[in-house]
Amino acid sequence: MIRRLAARDVGLWKEIRRAALEEAPLAFGRTLAAFHDQSDDDHRARLATSHTYGAFHGDSITGSASWRALGPSGTVEDHRAGLYSFFVRRERHGQGDADALLARVVRDASAAGILQIELDVVTTNARAVGFYRRAGFEQVGLTPRALRRDDGFADEYRMILRLDA
C-alpha cells in the first residue's frame, strides 16, 4: 500500500529516512549525522512542503519517495518536478514497492500539471540506475564529483522522465 505522509507521520518518516541513510549512505545528499541534527519540526516542515509517500507492508513502512515542483506556479519552470529520497528497504527489493511508489509519484505529479520529473542518481548505484531506465527515465547529463564523502567523491547522472511523451 502507498499513501502520502503527513506531519503526523513524522515518526514513520524518520524511521524510513534513517534506514535509507544507514543502508545506502552514498546514495543521498544528506549524511546520517546531518539527519540526526534535524528536529522533529524540521521533518514536519519537509513533509508539509513536499509530496512524500510511504510504501507499507502490513504496518511496517518499507519505502519512501518525495517530489516537489521545481518552480512556483505560473513560472517558466512550473512544469518540472524533482524526485527525492527514493528508497526501498533491501528486504523489499523485487517485491513491487519501488514500482508502486514511482507509479504514485507519476500519477500525482501528472495530476498537478507536472510534465517532467527529474532526479540525480549516483553513477555506481547500478540497481537504481537500471530501475529508473526501465521506468522510462533517460540520462541527460553527468555531474562529476556531485557528492563529497569522507572517502572521496561520487558522480551523479541527471535523469528525466517526460510525462507528456
Check which CATH number belongs to the domain holding 128 and give it.
3.40.630.30
pTM of the model: 0.91
Confidence at 63, pLDDT banded by 50, 70, 90? very high
SS3 content of the chain, % helix, strand, coil (to 5): 40, 35, 25
Average pLDDT (106-125) is 96
Confidence at 151, pLDDT banded by 50, 70, 90? confident
> H-helix or E-strand containing 47?
helix 40-49
Which domain, by its residues, includes 17?
2-162
Beta-carbon contacts of 106 under 8 Å, excluding residues fewer than 6 positions away, are: 117, 161, 163
In the prediction, which pLDDT does 26 show?
75
**Structural domain tally of the chain?**
1
Average pLDDT (77-97) is 95
